[in-house]
Structure 1
């Protein structure tokens, strides 16, 4: 025989027989010689053409463009286009790498803000050490991971918006309490849902989780001080509002657990 069988050619080139069959079917590498039994045979010229296909495939050129190049097309133009495509992919991948790095950073730091930015955005009462405490306490749970994922996509302006919404909500809660809004009323439940939705911008917060958080608003002096600075007794009132709203949604505040 004057040439290699398809199996021998595939082994020589380091490709599969199926690949050579496909190249033959689309006219990319179509050996003309046949054995006496009718099997296609790959001559030296066919193997050389197949090797050129491999070179261009390594550059990820589409098969139709490769066919045009092998049949006399302008290689320079095609290669320039492929260079541009690859450069764009590099930029896209670099952006993905940066995004992954931000997520890693957010997972370890909590906020991708400097201490100065945190003080400017969240006010003089903010302590950056609270983030370290939160990570140590909750860093292994799903809510922290969700929080970190969202934090990775936020810049200083995004956090300013978050802080402004929180301050506005605190003022509305204080006004409602001072106006005598009763926990369990429609108005109080609407405020509880608004409060839960604000937490939901950081991680998905169930009614049971909302109750668990409300306990800390009273039991942790830092949370209590935050709310009571806005209006004396606000922390205790907010806890009652959250508990009554949870009860209206089928959650017993006495037995509510995180998760």
Structure 2
């Protein structure tokens, strides 16, 4: 991982999130810039970008900010250099498994919604095809 810092504009371009959205995630504590420039600009690392990508992927699945925070806390704890008891390690993995299962269920729901939307669009297209022009 690179230790180079990026300003928020580059992070926004890389994550396809707006500056406002990134600032919102900062305000809610989901992501905290790794540093600030001498001029006070937010500076982010690759790890910060990876964290924002997790959030970006959770958002369309309908996860709440609190759920995002819980998953990030679990992964942060697992990724820390701190030694974990076998019990805590197991609990963290179980929490992540729960999120994975919820994500899979939400993907199925979205596929169902997409299929219905495609059927609807096809119905409209067929209607237009069989309606003569004036």
Question: Which bin holds the TM-score, normalised by the shorter protein?
Answer: 0.5 to 0.7
> Which residue does the alignment assign to 1:196?
none
Flag the structure with higher strand content. Answer: 2
TM-score by length of 2: 0.58
Q: How many pairs are equivalent? A: 108
Report the 3-state secondary structure (helix = DSSP H, G, I; strand = E; otherwise coil) of the residue aligned with 1:20: helix
Instruction: Compare relative contact order (CA 8 Å, sep 6+) and give the higher one, 1 or 2.
Output: 2
Report the 3-state secondary structure (helix = DSSP H, G, I; strand = E; otherwise coil) of the residue aligned with 1:41: strand
1:90 matched to 2:111? The reply is yes
> Which residue does the alignment assign to 1:54?
56
Question: In structure 2, do the counterparts of structure 1 residues 78 and 101 end up closer, same or farther at CA, with 3 Å as the change threshold?
Answer: same
Aligned partners of 1:3 and 1:41 also within 8 Å: yes
Instruction: State the Cα deviation string for residues 96-154 of structure 1 (Å, max 9, x = none).
Output: 5445656737x85xxxxxxxxxxxxxxxxxxxxxxxxxxxxxx549xxxxxxxxxxxxx
CA distance in 2, matches of 1:101, 1:76: 37
1:38 matched to 2:59? The reply is no
Question: In structure 2, do the counterparts of structure 1 residues 44 and 88 end up closer, same or farther at CA, with 3 Å as the change threshold?
Answer: closer
Instruction: State the Cα deviation string for residues 26-78 of structure 1 (Å, max 9, x = none).
Output: 11111142222222221333223223323434x63424222211110622212
> Which residue does the alignment assign to 2:82?
none
Aligned partners of 1:4 and 1:43 also within 8 Å: yes
CA distance in 1, matches of 2:118, 2:8: 42
How large is the RMSD of aligned CA atoms in angstroms? 3.2
1:75 matched to 2:96? The reply is yes
| 1:21-170 pair list within 5 angstroms | 21-57=23-59, 60-64=61-65, 65-72=67-74, 74-98=95-119, 104=126, 108=130, 140=132
CA distance in 2, matches of 1:81, 1:28: 20
CA distance in 1, matches of 2:121, 2:41: 52
